[in-house]
């Protein structure tokens, strides 16, 4: 089945109700552009081709389709016209063609498979996914007689009698590729909006003596997104799925509703996630990891036995090794922490590596940026970086070296060396009173000045 | 209509069920004292006067009414007595008088307008807002016959038959100012509680041959607040309104339920707000701003193109310019960031300015306080403040100057200068082993000492 | 009643559906191991003994039962066999014996009391807590005739007729201790699973001419936990109870659903808790405390008038005194802040004390760890610790002393002294251009190198 399948993703709609300068299908859900959910669901069918249909000046959308090719719908002349734009890209294709919409990101691959299988089993020229929403008013209706889909009637064209039919059109369609061109040629725009409707393919197929079928799916999968409110509802639906999957896989989420996953987050068994944790795209967490409350992780891997947070931020390109501890108010950016390394308090570790078992003290900064370039900091295994130190990259601290607290390290520290980069303390006995008198007078003066 | 309107806000109730030393009407909702929601809803009617009625020793409440005048209800002798306290302040007022309660913060200006309009249209002496709650048991009931409100019966005085009436008294009343004094003069306290009830005005008006009317409003608007639980429910209701408005205005809220708005938060179009963001009062966010997860903003403005968070805190008096980046664990307090300036990691910038395009390194502190006075730090445009620096205010860093990492800057740095305020690194080769042996011995000694 | 009571907690189940290497009854709820909720609910009955039944190699579970003794169930041969394992520990016990399950942590002490009282009042040999769940399908059913419990039929053994009975077995049982041994001796494993069922005690008692009774409880209390999803549901149920209790006690929770309590959190009156606050075990908060958004507190006490957060973390062993301020990105670990002390911005204060009225500047680190031992930092009253300082423990700063900003303090500072531990600033006029040219060239070079 899969080899001869083609999928056309219609993504040329305007989306004006989003009130956004970002194309609707690029708004994000679970860390991905909406469109990617649709394309990934299609890709899991392993089709021979996926073709996107984009509007003119839809470069950003086309980029989101990459590496799949796109066709441009020049003018907004209806869904039938949109699919027609994809026909050149479907040249010589013989198997079934799925048409899906880029703004309906909740349907599952399993549901698409059921549609394709039903069409194949029954030899249908056209198959349509239908659903029964709580409120059918805005949807076109599917009319089935004797197991055969007869026609789709748009909501606005329904008679009062027809409105009583709650079986609605999801927009997802499967068309026999061998008959596609002939059917498409029959589309007419002799309607109020002067548009070509994909839904007319059903009547055209029936008129040609071919079979059309309807397959019912779960209403929750067919939500289309037109507003920010609907975007938020879809996000909640995706999150509910991702949370349930995490729990089923053996993770503990103290408060599932306060954990936000990306579509591709992977959690191992016995991972514990505290309340208020956000996973951006690209996070892999191994087994037996504890992620405490208030963490933000993205594009990183966390190895077994690690303890992260609370209030930790781990940014893309970071790798947290086995049994590593990352504590509060610590930021990792493109930094590797080797086995058993620790950075427990207030630190920025960017573009670096911390060797196995090393300890990075509170307040440490890897000074990776000088205003022009970014450089690496490399701390060897078993090193000790004293608190409130600044390691000015590019710089290396060797294995087993010690950097004393409060140091600015601008030169490499050899293995086994001790580096100081701080001033010696000078204590002036009994001088606080005079200093305070001076500060007090200055404050009084400043206050007077403000009044003037 | 508006010019001749007066509004009396009754805020003299005790609120003992709050179990609080704070007056009930000053408990906060969406960043404002409860009372302010009521006063603002009234003020949008543009009335000629707003008068508050407060209890004795209600100075804090009176302050919350400012600049509106208040009258003091000397003893808790009922709602009618409370309105009577306001009569001197209404002297010579001829138009309608609205009486509303300070502990019912959810009603909308539109609903008040409907009540006023109905009274005007029908020439009513008294108008009452009614509602139909899920559980009418605790409420007084409105009895309407032939479109005329006949009387209000307190819950405890209802017969079994009367209890079947689900149309309840919201407490909000509109009284013809010309008849107010005469009606009020008729109030009696010959009841079990020896109190004067405002609700008796209905029967008094009817007895005088005048018309009383009831106008139905949405039950959700008439919730009164008596407990912390009800306070939380009201907060949730307000937040739901504010979130819906933000979405409708073209903002994306990844998880609307985890974004907390103040009543006056303003978001531009294409603002993206991550999960877990709190807006305190006085925040204005321009279009195309991204506020990432876990931020806390209050009393600040964020210009277009800025990126804030995650884990950023922006405090009152701060101004974040166009395309500014504020990163994790950064606090801004009364600080201005000019166009394109950046402070991406762990910093406290207080009482300062950062010029356009300047970069503030990780761990930077604006040392604004010396124990007695607070002073300003001014960083010019295109400057570079190295990581882990402390700028001791009052201090200026000129345009295009560089402060090297780890410096303590106590004197002004001229434009184009480089400032160092750190010790030179000294590296002792091979000395880590001895240092570690010493530290180890000290730890062992300390352990022994604890055991003794 | 209480003196002669014994409670057996059955905690030998496998819990494989948790997909966890942690025993099911040790998974956490509201900061406690699940089992502790059961044991504490039992302990509030003040029984003469509590006995746990654990599986072989159940050392961790036995530890959670401490100081109560445990018995080991050698093989998983049913609930009856589990109770039998406890019989030796109940030797000579005459009063009632309660059998409860370690994976049902939601029942309340009050409900257990009702069961015990009913058994005592009616002279029952066996009493069972029943409930009426929304979906009775998975539960055994209680059959009561004329007020007497006749038998319990397992779900799988019910006839279609019996399935219509929605009165279900909670598993909680109360047995007359004087009859326990005789009843237990009657248990047989002649069933499909070859197990001994505790539920058979009912029929055995009835057969012996004794009375068995059923007492109905609230279905919400009898949830058993078998999966992570159910663990999350139970957590939500416990949190709802704890939040309601906090509100009823006179605390304000801006968004109750975003505050996570431990079972033992104690909040005073007029405590205000912002959104997104997590309380780990062992937190006591006095009256009139404000805990702002995004805080994480555990094992600490907060005195009256303190202001904490946002973004503060207070770890075990910390004590926050009256009117203390702890601000954003501040971590306290085993540190005492005396009355009126302040640490308002980015700081790590570990193993220390800050005296009354002292001010700890932004970016301050108590350097408590040297890689081998942990040491204390002691700051006297009225001291001023300048921003970005590192106090290297063990170290004392005396009363009224000043540490200047950016200092590394390695030696004690006497009372009234001023300590400097920083380099003097050197400013090179006009040198930024040359420095920047150099940095720019380096960046270009690095870029070239990456391309090669």
Given a cut of 50, whether residue A3 has pLDDT beyond it is no
| DSSP codes joined into one string, A392-421 | ESSEEE-TT-EE-TT-EE-S-B-TT-EEE-
Looking at B87-199, which runs of residues are DSSP E strands?
96-101, 126-131, 141-145, 148-153, 168-176
ipTM of the complex: 0.93
Q: Which of B349, C321, C349, C293 is nearest to A328 (CA)?
A: C349
Burial environment of residue B449 by CB neighbours within 10 A (0 to 12, 13 to 18, 19 or more): exposed
> Which residues on adjacent β-strands are paired with residue C281?
none
Pairing verdict, β C426-428 and B418-420 = antiparallel
Work out the pLDDT band at A450, boundaries 50, 70, 90: confident
Residues of chain B positioned with their CB less than 8 A from the CB of C275: 258, 260, 276, 278
Distance CA C305, CA C269 (A): 11
* List of residues 6+ apart from C47 with CB closer than 8 A: C2, C5, C6, C7, C98
Rg for chain B, CA atoms, rounded = 30
C135–chain A nearest CA distance, Å: 21
> Are the C-beta atoms of residues C398 and C380 closer than 8 Å to each other?
yes
Q: Which of residues 222-281 of A touch B (CB under 8 A)?
A: 227-229, 231-232, 235-236, 239, 257-258, 260, 276, 278
Residue ranges of chain C assigned to CATH 2.160.10.10: 228-419
A333 CB within 8 Å of a chain C CB: no
CA distances from A414 to A236, A364, A375, B437 (A): 52, 19, 19, 18
Mean pLDDT taken over chain A? 95
Given a cut of 80, whether residue A80 has pLDDT beyond it is yes
Residue ranges of chain B with per-residue pLDDT less than 70: 1-3
Distance CA B412, CA B401 (A): 10
Q: Catalytic residue numbers of C?
A: 345
> Which residues on adjacent β-strands are paired with residue A176?
A96
Residue predicted with more confidence, B192 or A162: A162
Contact C252 B231 (CB under 8 A): yes
Mean pLDDT taken over chain C? 95
Q: Which of B332, B338, B369, B375 is nearest to B354 (CA)?
A: B338
B431 CB within 8 Å of a chain A CB: yes
Q: C233 by DSSP, 3-state: which?
A: helix
Contact C390 A276 (CB under 8 A): no
pLDDT tens per residue across span B250-261: 999 999 999 999
Q: Which CATH superfamily is domain A6-221 in?
A: Spore Coat Polysaccharide Biosynthesis Protein SpsA; Chain A (3.90.550.10)
Interchain CB contacts (distance < 8 Å): A and C:
189
Q: What is the DSSP letter of A21?
A: S
CATH of the domain spanning C228-419, picked from 2.160.10.10, 1.10.238.10, 2.60.40.1120, 2.60.120.200: 2.160.10.10
Looking at A132-287, which runs of residues are DSSP E strands?
141-145, 148-153, 168-176, 212-216, 252-253, 259-260, 266-267, 272-273, 277-279, 284-285
Pairing verdict, β C377-379 and C395-397 = parallel
Reported as type and span, the H/E element at residue A329 is strand A325-333
Is the link from the previous residue into B240 a cis peptide, with omega within 30 of 0?
no
Q: How many residues does chain B have?
A: 452
Chain A contact partners (≥3 CB pairs within 8 A): B, C
Rounded to the nearest 10°, the torsion over CA A406, A409, A412, A414 is -10
Distance CA C303, CA C290 (A): 10
* List of residues 6+ apart from C395 with CB closer than 8 A: C375, C377, C378, C409, C410, C411, C412, C413
Residue predicted with more confidence, A57 or C86: C86
C-alpha triplet B98, B104, B110: angle, nearest 5°: 55
B166 CB within 8 Å of a chain C CB: no
> Are the C-beta atoms of residues B277 and A296 closer than 8 Å to each other?
no
Residue A427 CB coordination number (10 Å): 17
Contact B331 C345 (CB under 8 A): yes
* Nearest C-alpha in C relative to A310: C296
Q: Which of residues 65-124 of A touch C (CB under 8 A)?
A: none
What's residue C13's pLDDT? 84
Residue ranges of chain A assigned to CATH 3.90.550.10: 6-221
Residues of chain A positioned with their CB less than 8 A from the CB of B426: 419-421
Interchain CB contacts (distance < 8 Å): B and C:
189
| DSSP codes joined into one string, C267-299 | E-TT-EE-SSEEE-SS-EE-TT-EE-SSEEE-S
* Nearest C-alpha in A relative to C402: A432
Distance CA A113, CA A37 (A): 16
Given a cut of 90, whether residue A262 has pLDDT beyond it is yes
Q: Which of residues 350-379 of B touch C (CB under 8 A)?
A: 350, 363, 365, 367, 369-371
Which member of C256, C257, C363 has the closest CB to residue B363? C363
Helix, strand and coil percent figures for chain C, each rounded to 5: 25, 30, 40
Q: What is the mean pLDDT of residues A207-211?
A: 96
Residue B194 CB coordination number (10 Å): 9
Q: To which residue do tokens 């819906």 refer?
A: B244
Q: What is the dihedral sign for C-alpha A236, A240, A241, A245?
A: positive
> Are the C-beta atoms of residues B348 and B314 closer than 8 Å to each other?
no
* List of residues 6+ apart from C263 with CB closer than 8 A: C29, C30, C31, C32, C36, C37, C40, C238, C242, C281
Residue ranges of chain C with per-residue pLDDT less than 50: 1-3
* List of residues 6+ apart from C5 with CB closer than 8 A: C45, C46, C47, C48, C95, C96, C97, C98, C116
Which member of A22, A294, A420 has the closest CB to residue B425? A420
Contact C269 B20 (CB under 8 A): yes
Q: Which of residues 273-292 of A touch B (CB under 8 A)?
A: 276, 278
Which member of C359, C362, C425 has the closest CB to residue B420? C425
> Are the C-beta atoms of residues B386 and B407 closer than 8 Å to each other?
yes
pLDDT tens per residue across span B5-41: 999 999 998 889 999 999 999 999 999 999 999 999 9
What's residue C2's pLDDT? 41
A409 CB within 8 Å of a chain B CB: yes
What's residue B2's pLDDT? 41
> Are the C-beta atoms of residues B81 and B10 closer than 8 Å to each other?
no
For this structure, is B93 an active site residue?
no
Q: B142 by DSSP, 3-state: which?
A: strand
CA distances from C81 to A57, C11, C26, C153, C219 (A): 74, 12, 22, 18, 26
Helices (H), C107-155: 109-122
- Enter the tokens of residue C35: 């089992």
Which member of A256, A274, A346 has the closest CB to residue C348? A346
């Amino acid at each position: 089945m899969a080899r001869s399948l083609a999928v056309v993703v219609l993504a040329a709609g305007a989306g004006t109700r989003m009130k956004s300068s970002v194309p609707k299908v690029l708004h994000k859900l679970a860390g991905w552009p909406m469109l990617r959910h649709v394309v990934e669901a299609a890709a899991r069918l392993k089709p021979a081709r996926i073709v996107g249909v984009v509007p003119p000046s839809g470069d950003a959308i086309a980029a989101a389709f990459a590496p799949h090719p796109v066709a441009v719908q020049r003018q907004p002349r209806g869904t039938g016209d949109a699919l027609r734009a994809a026909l050149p890209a479907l040249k010589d294709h013989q198997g079934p063609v799925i048409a899906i919409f880029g703004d309906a990101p909740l349907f599952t691959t399993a549901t698409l498979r059921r549609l394709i299988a039903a069409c194949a089993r029954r030899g249908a020229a056209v198959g349509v996914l239908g659903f029964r929403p709580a409120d059918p008013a805005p949807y076109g209706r599917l009319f089935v007689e004797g197991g055969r889909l007869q026609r789709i009637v748009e909501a606005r064209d329904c008679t009062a009698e027809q409105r009583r039919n709650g079986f609605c059109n999801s927009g997802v369609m499967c068309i026999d590729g061998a008959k596609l061109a002939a059917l498409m040629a029959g589309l007419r725009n002799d309607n109020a909006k002067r548009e070509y409707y994909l839904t007319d393919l059903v009547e055209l197929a029936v008129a040609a003596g071919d079979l059309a079928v309807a397959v019912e799916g779960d209403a929750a999968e067919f939500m289309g997104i037109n507003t920010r409110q609907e975007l938020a509802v879809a996000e909640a639906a995706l999150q509910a799925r991702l949370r349930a999957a995490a729990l089923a896989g053996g993770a503990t989420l103290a408060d599932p509703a306060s954990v936000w996953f990306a579509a591709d987050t992977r959690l191992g068994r016995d991972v514990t996630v505290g309340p208020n944790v956000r996973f951006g795209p690209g996070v892999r967490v191994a087994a037996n990891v504890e992620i405490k409350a208030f963490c933000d992780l993205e594009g990183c891997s966390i190895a077994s036995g690690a303890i992260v947070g609370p209030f930790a931020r781990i940014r893309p390109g970071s790798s947290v090794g086995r049994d590593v501890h990352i504590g509060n108010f610590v930021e990792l950016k493109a930094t590797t922490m080797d086995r058993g390394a620790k950075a427990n308090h207030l630190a920025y570790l960017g573009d670096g590596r911390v060797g196995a078992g090393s300890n990075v003290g509170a307040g440490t900064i890897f000074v990776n940026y000088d205003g022009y370039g970014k450089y690496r900091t490399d701390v060897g295994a078993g090193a000790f970086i004293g608190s409130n130190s600044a390691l000015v990259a590019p710089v290396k601290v060797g294995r087993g070296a010690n950097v004393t607290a409060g140091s600015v390290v601008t030169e490499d520290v050899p293995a086994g060396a001790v580096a100081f980069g701080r001033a010696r303390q000078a204590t002036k006995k009994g001088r606080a009173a005079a200093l305070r008198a001076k500060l007090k007078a200055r404050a009084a003066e400043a206050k007077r000045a403000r009044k003037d």
